[in-house]
Copies of this chain bind each other. A is one copy, B any other.
Amino acid sequence: MKHLKRFVAIIITVLLFGYCLNAQGVDEKLNLMPMPVKVELTGGEYRLDQNFKVAIEGNPAERLYGAVSRMLRRLSDRTGLFFLQDYLHRSSVIQDPDMIIDVKRPGEVKLHEDESYNLIVTSTHVSLNAETDIGALRGIETFLQLLEADSSGYYFPAVKIDDYPRFPWRGLMIDACRHFMPVDVIKRNLDGMAVVKMNVFHWHLSDDQGFRVECKAFPKLTEMGSDGMFYTQEQIKEIIKYADDRGIRVVPEFDLPGHSTSWFVGYPQYASAPGPYSVERKWGVFDPTFNPTIEKTYEFFDKFFEEMSKLFPDEYMHIGGDENSGKQWSANHEIQAFMKKHNIPDNNSLQSYFNKRLLAILTKYHKKMIGWDEILHPDMPKSIVIQSWRGEKSIEEAASKGYQVIRSNGYYIDLNQPASYHYLIDPDPDSLKLNNSQRKNIIGGEATMWSEFVSPENIDSRIWPRTAAIAERLWSPKNIVDVRDMYRRLKEISLELEDIGLTQIKNQSMMIRRLANGDDVTALTNFINVVGPVQGYNRAHQRTDYTSFSPLTRVVDAAVPDAEAARNFRYLVEDFLTRNIQDENNIKQIEKRLILWKNIDARLNTIIKRSPILLEVEPLSKELSDISAIGLQALEHIKNKTKVDSNWVNESLGRLKEAKQPQGQVELRVVSPVEKLVIRASEI
């Protein structure tokens, strides 16, 4: 009912003033993400029942029939309605359809394909129109997000939506090397990408710690370089088909010439130092590098890319190019002699020589090159795409020189920063010194999921739901930047992502059950809800004994980067201190939480005694209890306007500072708001 009332109010607004609400105007009412370019609520609603039938018209590609069949099943799963309509096929004849999807031409899963759509819901019909079936897929996701319910059933608000993406390259990179990610992990993440209208799956397939693709020309790549963990070509085809069905490109990355230890386990003859090599078990930047000065290296790559170009249909091939230490090159006399002979001044130029040779091979097999910042070099042609990981300077440099560029700097989701951080980073910020035509070279962005510290069990919790915020940044108009509203919608989208098979919520509960070792999980859950893994590169810096087989089942792995309870508390305190100082409910909410946290320590201690894996966070649990007590004291002072002792303030602030120290690579995410309470108390 709450929903319905709110809705009626909006309709009235719309009818009275007759204006067309843009995305910003309705973002408090609908749970759409990414927010469409233009949304107009037109009044009324389409009520859903089991007779709902969909017809497909026009000239779509085959993928739309499967997609609409899945749409019906998703609606059915959410509503419990036993739809009469079966699976859709090109030959299906639908009498009196309730929804018509009309598509002008078959879409192709390629860069710059038309993804626009137009969705109209009235009280009697739904129509979805698009140039291509890929646009229709995007519209279907919006349609599903419009589903609402009240006490008499399910409905879609009447609405007119016009929508198209801001950037054509909206990607998610998954590193399948540091930890191998089986087929089902990839598939469910492709499903998640489709929900938020992302269209590029960038698959990091080779690195020091593993080579992950079956290669028939060079079987030792996986036989010796993968520990048996790799994708067969059948599986790769299966995933490419799965992605294509969802309008998603698959761009493979073979990271070259560095990050290549795993290649040399079976093929040491192409390395710049003699070997032997073994699969790397540690994290970092390592020395093994291809030898760019011998012809047999290029003969090898010619054969290799001939096979891979057939396997991967996308027009782009990612050759990595990052973090080449150059040490093997500098230490190899023959390489040094080659450089002298060919007037190659430094390792950077040698890498560029290597890249040009690779470019010729890729071109031969009709592929365009994409690589990380480091491949940018005056010798490289403008057809390449630069993936920028180093910052805005390099975006500026690439775009101003006429290279197409995609942004990943700021979208490193492995670094455990909050969604709000990523959300406010624009691929094309106003601050860049670029003219309009140069700005057009910025064609999108990619969230990058490096996998040193994730397993198939918790990778979803690092990718989702934060990546939905990045997806909105890449799809929606630039002016959609309300962080709190983003978080409101993100919570709903997270449930939708779970619906489609992602595990970011349920696997956390499961990991907590394991950590509690059979005990009641309440206290541990409440604790984990206010902590987060250390951010940035601190995890690797703070503990150096990690290997590819270290356990990823500790508190730091169960904790999520953007703990909801901590964020809500931050907002409560912010509201309290800035606006609602008199709001009794607000104060009670703050108190309730602080009391809860104050009492966690005692309860957690009994669990820790039976579950030694938790010992490392014991001090943090004590800290949480202590700072919650401090917070409660500060709150009392503020409420009662009683003056505080300056010693207490100093001691408290000291204690709070200590509480910011991570333990077991986990940190409390509620220290700052308590600090704010203490400071406010001190100002009375």
Q: Which residues of A line the B interface, CB within 8 A? A: 1-3, 66, 72-73, 76-83, 86-87, 149-154, 182-184, 227-228, 232, 234-235, 238, 281, 491-492, 495, 498-499, 503, 505-507, 509-510, 513-514, 517-518, 545-547, 549-554, 608-613, 616
Contacts and interface: CB of A to CB of B under 8 A. Distances in A.
Given A79-B612, A80-B613, A499-B514, 12 more contacts: A66-B228, A77-B514, A77-B552, A78-B514, A82-B551, A86-B281, A87-B549, A149-B517, A149-B612, A184-B184, A492-B518, A506-B509
A612 to B, nearest CB: 5
Nearest to A77: B553
Given A499-B514, A510-B506, A518-B495, A612 B153 contact: yes
Which of A82, A552, A608: most chain B Cβ within 10 A? A82
Contact of A498 (B510, B552, B553): B510
Given A509-B509, A510-B505, A73 B184 contact: no
Contacts of A78: 514, 553, 613
Across the A-B interface, the 7 shortest Cβ-Cβ residue pairs: A80-B613, A506-B506, A184-B184, A151-B609, A76-B551, A234-B234, A77-B553
A72 B550 CA distance: 10
Contacts of A232: 234, 238
State the oligomeric state as a number of copies: 2
A545 B82 contact: yes
Given A234-B232, A234-B234, A545-B82, A609 B514 contact: no
A77 B557 CA distance: 11
A612 B154 contact: yes
A513 B505 contact: yes
A610 B3 contact: yes
A230 to B, nearest CB: 12
Given A151-B609, A612-B149, A82 B550 contact: yes
A663 to B, nearest CB: 14
A630 B293 CA distance: 87
A611 B153 CA distance: 8
A552 B77 CA distance: 7
Contact of A553 (B1, B80, B609): B80
Nearest to A79: B613
Contacts of A238: 232
Nearest to A153: B612
A80 B549 contact: no
30 contacts: A72-B549, A76-B553, A78-B553, A78-B613, A80-B551, A80-B553, A80-B612, A80-B613, A80-B616, A81-B551, A82-B551, A83-B549, A86-B281, A149-B610, A149-B612, A150-B610, A150-B612, A151-B608, A151-B612, A153-B612, A184-B184, A232-B234, A234-B234, A495-B514, A498-B514, A505-B510, A505-B513, A506-B506, A506-B509, A506-B510
Contacts of A83: 549
Contacts of A183: 183-184
Contact of A152 (B227, B281, B612): B612
Contacts of A495: 513-514, 518
Contacts of A81: 551
Contacts of A505: 510, 513
Contacts of A616: 80
Contacts of A514: 77-78, 495, 498-499
A72 B72 CA distance: 44
A132 to B, nearest CB: 22
A83 B281 CA distance: 13
Nearest to A281: B86
B182 A2 contact: no
Nearest to A83: B549
A551 B182 CA distance: 28
A150 B549 contact: no
A626 B612 CA distance: 44
Contacts of A184: 182-184
Of listed A232, A491, A551, residue having the most chain B CB within 10 A? A551
A433 to B, nearest CB: 45
A616 B83 CA distance: 17
Contacts of A154: 612
A484 B459 CA distance: 38
A61 B495 CA distance: 45
Contacts of A73: 549, 551
Contacts of A513: 495, 498, 505
A184 B234 CA distance: 16
Nearest to A78: B514
B2 A80 contact: no
A240 to B, nearest CB: 14
Nearest to A609: B151
A549 B76 contact: yes
A498 to B, nearest CB: 6
Nearest to A76: B551
A228 B241 CA distance: 13
Contacts of A546: 82
A153 B608 CA distance: 10
A146 to B, nearest CB: 14
A667 B182 CA distance: 39
Contact of A80 (B3, B499, B506, B554): B554
B611 A149 contact: yes
A610 B183 CA distance: 36
A68 to B, nearest CB: 13
A234 to B, nearest CB: 4
A78 B492 CA distance: 32
Contacts of A2: 610
A613 B506 CA distance: 21
Contacts of A507: 506
A81 B550 CA distance: 8
